[in-house]
């Protein structure tokens, strides 16, 4: 094989890797934007409270809906964070094709070692917002709708009051399952594509 052919193949590979590098960062940006859209939906969900006040929506159903929206935001946070982690692994592997140990001082040292997946700070803030809203909704519902019923006879039990807690339990199970699935996919990528050693 001639030197020109080898050079042409290397150039095509470099072009491909650079295009993939840009697209991977694009994937990260898209998933970050999805979380902001979720937060906007979470804040907009407080319009539900106005519907409660106008007696358009029953209070128990409205609280269950708010719990569901908080879980939805949590699902987007989990999905976006693990998407970020996997794309960062791919980006690091691509950087190792171009950078040497010397570049750790000239550019950045992050490509030298694999970084364990962790929660991004701004996604953590989104998760705290959803968790705070969830705690307020559940706490408010419990003290205004459930606690007064403790002194009432069992015949006055209203099954609708259980709805927010059922939604909470089912949502928590779904979020744990989603996190487990995403964690498994990330571990598989780390195992199958460890990347080239840095020279």
- For residues 43, 170, 77, 85, the Cα torsion angle rounded to the nearest 10 degrees is 180
Rounded to an integer, what distance in angstroms lies between the CA atom of residue 62 and that of residue 70?
Answer: 13
- Contact status, residue 62 vs residue 49, Cβ threshold 8 Å: yes
| Structure token pair of residue 144 | 């205004």
pTM surpassing 0.75?
yes
Q: What is the pLDDT of residue 183?
A: 95
- Domain boundaries along the sequence of the chain: 3-192
Q: What is the pLDDT of residue 47?
A: 73
Tokens 């059922």 correspond to 166
Query: pLDDT 10s per residue in the chain (199 long)?
Result: 554 455 656 677 678 678 777 777 776 676 666 666 666 766 666 677 777 777 778 889 989 988 998 999 899 899 989 988 998 898 888 888 888 888 888 878 888 888 888 888 888 888 998 899 899 999 999 998 888 877 777 777 788 899 999 999 999 999 999 999 999 999 999 999 988 888 7
Rounded to an integer, what distance in angstroms lies between the CA atom of residue 121 and that of residue 118?
Answer: 9
């Amino acid at each position: 094989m001639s030197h020109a052919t080898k050079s042409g193949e290397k150039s095509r590979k470099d072009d491909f890797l650079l295009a993939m590098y840009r697209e991977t960062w694009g994937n990260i940006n898209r998933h970050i934007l999805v979380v902001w859209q979720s937060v906007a939906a979470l804040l907009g969900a407080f319009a539900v409270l106005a519907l409660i006040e106008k007696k358009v929506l029953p209070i128990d159903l409205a609280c269950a809906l708010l719990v569901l929206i908080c879980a939805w935001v949590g699902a987007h946070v989990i999905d976006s964070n693990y998407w970020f982690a996997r794309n960062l692994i791919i980006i690091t592997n691509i950087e190792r094709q171009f950078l040497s140990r010397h570049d750790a001082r000239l550019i950045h040292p992050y490509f030298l070692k694999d970084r364990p997946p962790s929660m991004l700070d701004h996604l953590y803030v989104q998760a705290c917002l959803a968790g705070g809203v969830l705690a307020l909704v559940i706490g408010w519902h419990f003290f205004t709708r459930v606690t007064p019923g403790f002194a009432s006879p069992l015949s006055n039990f209203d099954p609708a009051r259980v709805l927010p807690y059922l939604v909470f339990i089912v949502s928590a199970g779904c979020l744990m399952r989603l996190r487990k699935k995403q964690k498994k996919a990330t571990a598989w990528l780390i195992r199958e594509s460890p990347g080239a050693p840095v020279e």
